[in-house]
Amino acid sequence: MRIIAGQFRGRTLASVGKGDKGAYLRPTTDRVRESLFSVLMHLDVINGARVLDLFAGTGALGLEALSRGATHVTFVDDGRVANGLIRENIALTRSGEQVRVIKRNVLQLGDCPGARFDLVFLDPPYGKGLSPRAIDVMQSGGWLAQDALLVCEENAPLEVPAGFSLEDRRKYGDTHVTLMRAQT
């Protein structure tokens, strides 16, 4: 796994091998990340963005956004293994001053402690129905900026909840990516 483009281009990130089933780590492949970020660059949503990476795993999505011009990334994951990998990857990219790591269950985020987020990655364990619940938590806690873009990765197409509009849908093998905009 590596950073594909931007200031950290080519940096190899800490590996989880084939994933950690016990910790639900299932890193987004380089191919899917490359295609996804091509779409995001076309939508011009990364440069200057504040990014929230939920169920962050290794932090690869947030770090790719940071590499491509995001100004800040907050990573949220409650896993011990995931938090170790995120911190290792922050060290590898020397991006410590532009990031924050929150070790917490995404469904217990509470209120947003600072500025809201323009771009949100949700990559929860597949098949557990966590994305809609996480979206509710973000909305009620004030985490989303006006017109925030949410990028949801699941094993099936995600229904777009009230208060959001569908921006795009993509399918990569068994991975379904739904992009939606907050209508706040």
- Tens of pLDDT, residues 147-170: 999 999 998 889 999 999 999 999
Question: Would residue 158 count as lying in a domain?
Answer: yes
Q: Specify the pLDDT at position 30.
A: 67
State which residues form the domain around 96.
21-182
Q: pLDDT averaged over the chain?
A: 89
Other CB atoms within 10 Å distance of the CB of residue 72? 21
Question: Would residue 39 count as lying in a domain?
Answer: yes
Question: Would residue 2 count as lying in a domain?
Answer: no
Question: Would residue 33 count as lying in a domain?
Answer: yes
Question: Would residue 35 count as lying in a domain?
Answer: yes
The whole-angstrom separation of Cα 34 and Cα 40 is 10
Instruction: Give the number of domains in the chain.
Output: 1
pTM: 0.90
Q: Specify the pLDDT at position 111.
A: 96
Question: Would residue 108 count as lying in a domain?
Answer: yes
